[in-house]
Amino acid sequence: MGSSTSFPVDELLSATGSSLALGVAAAVATSVLALPVAWLVTRRRSRLGTVLERTTYVGSALPGIVVALALVTITVRHAQPLYQTTTMLIAAYVVLFLPRALVSQRAALGQVPPLLDDVAGALGAGPFARLRRVVLPLVAPGVGAGAALVFLAVVTELTATLLLSPTGTRTLATAFWSETGDVDYGAAAPYAALMVVLSMPATYLLTRESRSRRP
């Protein structure tokens, strides 16, 4: 109990790679899905935007185990090929953490004057050109901050990852849980340390973004 058992380096690297890949994939997915909702809420102020925004908060309010078990039930009964796949695991992360990306993007879009978009349209720029050349460069810091929040959450997420990850997939969080379950804290320590290390760049990005918004 509490031994300092050595650990295989290849398992540590594999868990790190899995955590990085899942964190980046979830951050990208939530950022892409949050942008249209943030746009509808801040620019159009439509009922659809309000409904979509409130719906995203429902998933975040639910415990991770509830979301995971719901997705397990759906996939086992209606989409069995998706059970224990990376696709379904990313879907769980989206349900759980989409509000983190949405809040950051909504705040960023709220600081962009609509007049800039209108002027670009008056000069002949189409909707996608305005989005790419005017809006996205201005909201990029907010999008990055939201993505960083999602990445931090995914790297340390445990419940949904345990229930939905493909067989044989080990992340830093699940490996840490496994080793502490065996009361082998020496073997668990490197996984915990790496979770902290992976969190540092995202934390730095969030800190810098927060300071840049101060008057």
**How confident is the model at residue 109, as a pLDDT?**
86
pLDDT reading at 215 higher than 80: no
**How confident is the model at residue 213, as a pLDDT?**
59
**How confident is the model at residue 7, as a pLDDT?**
57
Instruction: Provide the 3-class DSSP secondary structure of residue 152.
Output: helix
Supply the angle between the helices 86-110 and 136-156 in degrees, to the nearest 10. 140
Q: How far apart are CA 48 and CA 35, in angstroms?
A: 14
- Tell me: the pLDDT tens digits for 11-21? 899 999 999 99
**How confident is the model at residue 170, as a pLDDT?**
92
Contact 161, 15 (CB under 8 A): no
- Tell me: the pLDDT tens digits for 43-99? 777 788 788 888 888 888 888 899 999 999 999 999 889 988 999 999 999 999 999
179 — pLDDT class (breaks 50, 70, 90): confident
Domains annotated for the chain, with CATH where assigned, are: 9-212 (1.10.3720.10)
pLDDT reading at 3 higher than 60: no
214 — pLDDT class (breaks 50, 70, 90): low
Neighbours of 61 (CB within 10 A): 9
Two tokens at 90? 């990313």
pLDDT reading at 182 higher than 60: yes
- Tell me: the pLDDT tens digits for 118-173? 676 666 666 677 777 777 888 888 899 899 999 999 999 999 999 999 988 999 99
Please spell the DSSP secondary structure of 82-118, one letter per residue.
GTT-HHHHHHHHHHHHHHHHHHHHHHHHHTS-HHHHH
**How confident is the model at residue 24, as a pLDDT?**
96
Share of the chain above pLDDT 90, in %: 40
Please state the separation of Cα 85 from the chain's center in Å: 17
Q: How far apart are CA 143 and CA 32, in angstroms?
A: 9
Q: How far apart are CA 21 and CA 13, in angstroms?
A: 12
2 — pLDDT class (breaks 50, 70, 90): very low
CA terminus-to-terminus distance, the chain: 53
